[in-house]
Structure 1
Amino acid sequence: MQATLWQQLVHRLAPNCCLWCQMQVQQPQTQLCDFCHAHLPSLDLSWVDQNALLLPQVAQGLKRPKFDRLYSLSWYRQPYRHWISQWKFQQHHAAGELLCQLLYQRAILYQQQGRPLPDCISYTPVSNQRLQERGFNQAKLLAQQLARAWHKPCVSLFQSPDLVPHQIGLKRKERLANLKGKIQLQERPLPAHITLVDDVITTGATLDYLSALLKAKGVQTVSVWTLAITRA
């Protein structure tokens, strides 16, 4: 109770500014004002069994994906585009905290709807060099939110000893060529259903590559969670 009262006092004296409109937020420990939160773009997956792979625009861009299900908060548009870029390339940790909060909230809602949950959660890896440059792996931080919401283990299944070149602007074949031999699956027992997490899905090349590695070792179902999907 004391912590809550202290948070409310701090909020009254120096309230946060909304990360989108820059107006004061109404609630302590939040990154968005009530208006911006209520008007966030959202991807309606209720009519496709919560699987974005069944959306015509997604199916057109992702040809024969190796993973079985895809869930995302939004299309890759503002304000998600801005926050993801700021977090990933400018180390804007407030934006990262907001995105983690939004994914956690959606994961709770997904579970409350009685959707099937995985046995564990994993994430796209980054090389040691990239980790030193950036200071964090955003996919891992997002995966930890799903693990916390669902009370499932978050495990490191992949390693990337070699630096994978930036994939921005590359076509699918070019992305797959960059990945070949750069990411390996660690030797360990694997469960039947695994959820992979990444920040954005564009061509699906990276997640296809990881899914193929998992299924070659007997994993039956691979589901993917992302913050945003680029349109075909």
Structure 2
Amino acid sequence: MSFWFGYLRRQLMPSVCLWCQQPLAWHEPQLCHHCHRHLPRLDAALTQHNALYLPPVQRGLAQARFDALYPMAWYQQPYRHWVQRWKFQQGLAEGELLCQLIGEKAAALRDTDGIVPDAVGFVPMSAARLRQRGFNQALLLAQSVARQWHRPCLALFDSPALVPHQTGLSRRDRLANLREKIQLNSGTLPAHVALVDDVVTTGATMDWLTGLLKNAGVQRVDVWCLAVTRHSTAASSPSSSIESALNILPR
């Protein structure tokens, strides 16, 4: 009910920018031009289009089994707010915005003659969690990426058991949660796969899925996400948390 109420309200009432809250001229984009231009982003040129080269990522994902990581930004405001609104409060507009943004990043790779994977996969969700949330955010993001590349979006994995929420858990605990709860679907697999999720924190989920794929013969796995956690002592300090909260408004 809340999903459809939000949809009807957005169709009947003027839309506002999800960052500065100023009215928009039309419904499709969720950000005004000014806020879109000033969104925090990772500079792909500095990482050779692979964020695994960044020291704050290497510290947390030093033993990552996937070959490349393509985040849009650090896990900070306003992305943190939008992701949480989408996943836990049925934020339809926030979900549309995030799908638009990751689609733009995928289009940029295509337009610069980058190596486009053969297929797009996504982190699975159990039937129980799907009934609870109403949608799989990883699937919606993956579909946006696949549309830009004209590649198939494949359900490569099953999640027959409910995976407990991973928020706040260590890498070891996250991996323990995944064992025997996510399985690889049978069938012919492409050589190069892109896996999509909303946020990469410890990399445990993507490592587990990558292992399943590579054990089945996949040669290369790229990970695409909205945001990645910065692994540094400064990022966990109280002062940096306050600074991150203040960054909710555009400058």
Asked if these proteins are the same fold (TM beyond 0.5), I'd say yes
Trace 1:204-215 onto structure 2 (pairs within 5 A).
204-215=203-214
User: Cα distance, 1:105 vs. partner?
Assistant: 1.1
Q: Aligned ranges for residues 65-214 of structure 1 at < 5 Å?
A: 65-214=64-213
SS in 1 for 2:227: strand
Q: 1:101 to 1:126 in 2, by over 3 A?
A: same
Deviation of 1:48 (Å): 2.1
| CA-CA distance at 1:216 after TM superposition | 0.3
Q: Which residue of 2 aligns with 1:4?
A: none
Equivalent residue letter for 2:140? L
Contact 1:51–1:70 under 8 Å retained in 2? yes
Q: Check the 8 A contact 1:193/1:219 in 2, yes or no.
A: yes
Separation in 2 of the partners of 1:145 and 1:215?
24
By how many angstroms is 1:28 displaced? 4.2
Equivalenced residues, count: 222
Q: Note the alpha carbon deviations across 1:125-157, whole angstroms, 9 max, x for none.
A: 010000000010000000001110000000001
CA–CA separation in structure 2 for the residues paired with 1:35 and 1:47: 24
Hey, what's the Cα distance between the residues in 2 that align with 1:29 and 1:65? 37
Distance in 1 of aligned mates of 2:92 and 2:111: 29
1:61 has 2:60 as partner: yes
Equivalent AA in structure 2 for residue 93 of structure 1 = L
CA distance in 1, matches of 2:28, 2:189: 37
- Percent identical among aligned pairs is 55
Q: Corresponding residue for 2:35?
A: 36
SS at match of 1:215: helix
Q: Considering only aligned residues, what root-mean-square deviation do their CA atoms show, in Å?
A: 1.5
1:28-71 residue CA offsets vs partner (Å, 9 max, x unmatched): 42211122111100011212210000111101110211100000
**Helix, strand or coil at the partner of 2:145:** helix
In structure 2, C-alpha distance between the alignment counterparts of 1:197 and 1:111, rounded to whole Å: 16
Deviation at 1:222, TM superposition (A): 0.2
In the alignment, is the contact (CA less than 8 A) between 1:26 and 1:34 conserved in 2? no
How far apart, CA to CA, are the structure 2 residues paired with 1:19 and 1:183?
Answer: 35
Asked whether the 8 Å contact 2:109–2:116 carries over to 1, the reply is no
Q: Distance in 2 between matches of 1:52 and 1:62?
A: 10
Kept after mapping to 1: 8 A contact 2:17/2:30: yes
Tell which deviates more after alignment, 21-30 or 193-202.
21-30
Contact 2:210 2:221 in 1 (8 A): yes
Q: Which amino acid aligns with 1:29?
A: E
Aligned equivalents of 2:34, 2:193: Cα separation in 1: 35
- In 2, Cα distance between the equivalents of 1:43 and 1:115? 17
Cα deviation digits, residues 12-33 of structure 1 (max 9, x gap): x953111111111244422111
What 5-or-longer segments of structure 2 have no aligned partner?
1-9, 232-251
SS of aligned partner of 1:198: strand
Correspondences of 1:14-33 after superposition (within 5 Å): 15-33=14-32
Taking structure 1 as the reference length, what is the TM-score of the superposition?
0.93
User: What is the letter of the counterpart of residue 19 of structure 1?
Assistant: L
- Note if contact 2:130-2:136 (Cα within 8 Å) is conserved in structure 1: yes
3-state SS, counterpart of residue 73 of structure 1: strand
Separation in structure 2 between the aligned mates of residue 140 and residue 14 of structure 1, nearest angstrom: 28
